[in-house]
Amino acid sequence: MTGDAHDTNAEIWKSPAMIRDWLAQMDVRERKRSEQFLFIAQLLPFARQDRFTFLDLGAGTGAAARAILKVYANASAILADYSPHMIEAGARAMAPFHGRYRYVEFDMLTSDWPPTLPAELDAVVTSQCVHHLPDARKRSLFREILERLVPGGWYVNFDPVRASDPAVEAVWRRVAERLDPEAPSLQQPQTPEAPARQENHLRYMIDLDRQLGFLREAGFAAVDVYWKRLDYVIYGGRRDVTPRSGSRASDRQG
């Protein structure tokens, strides 16, 4: 991953030790977020039998993609990630959807999209990855996603945000401790690497209002926070339905 010399994102997410730790918690983490992944699928404006292609950016092991593929039997997924270890683990997790997905290696910090990613997509989703990007890259990524969406195509993001008010942040933490006192983010560091991972998690996290502003600035319509619980949100928007030559989805999406 390129960028700030102090950015440890690549070092962390391409580390075999980090991947082992992350995978050890994968099942528990996905059970806790299953409702949100299903909600992302329901936000997409497709009928259950529609054929469409969506991109899961920063897909990791494909938790969001799997939820969408379960709901839409004829959907096809492209999963993009830049960690070979994560892609390898994802291929195992995605095995039940053989023939309906493929992985593409892509570093979200760069605007150099590989030719293996389609120029037109019916939907794009991200989960737990945009908060790792600097603000300038968040803004450019949103523009690039919009450009690749067909008219009426949707982008949906599930991510943590930072509170703009310390009093609100205190409420978030108090309630989080009551709801899930065993959450890793609330525990004392158990390994020497844990503080660096936590710092990496928080480094580029920003408040919700700025991110919604970035979406509107990029040109998205119907921008809203469609789900929120404390510091976790699902927000998104669509590309306007002004027809584009060769679009596939503009006649069926609202």
The CATH superfamily holding the domain 9-238 is Vaccinia Virus protein VP39 (3.40.50.150)
User: What pLDDT is attached to residue 3?
Assistant: 41
Largest Cα span, the chain: 55
The residues that bridge with 9 in the sheet, in sequence order, are none
Tokens representing 15?
């580390």
Give tens-digit pLDDT for 48-70: 999 999 999 999 999 999 999 99
User: What pLDDT is attached to residue 202?
Assistant: 67
pTM (2 decimals)?
Answer: 0.83
- Is 195 buried (19+), middle (13-18) or exposed (0-12) by CB count in 10 A? exposed
Residue 240 neighbours by CB distance under 10 Å: 17
Domain boundaries, the chain: 9-238
How far does Cα 25 stand from its chain's mean position?
Answer: 18
Residue count of the chain, please give it: 254
How far does Cα 107 stand from its chain's mean position?
Answer: 13
User: What residues in the chain have per-residue pLDDT under 50?
Assistant: 1-5, 244-254
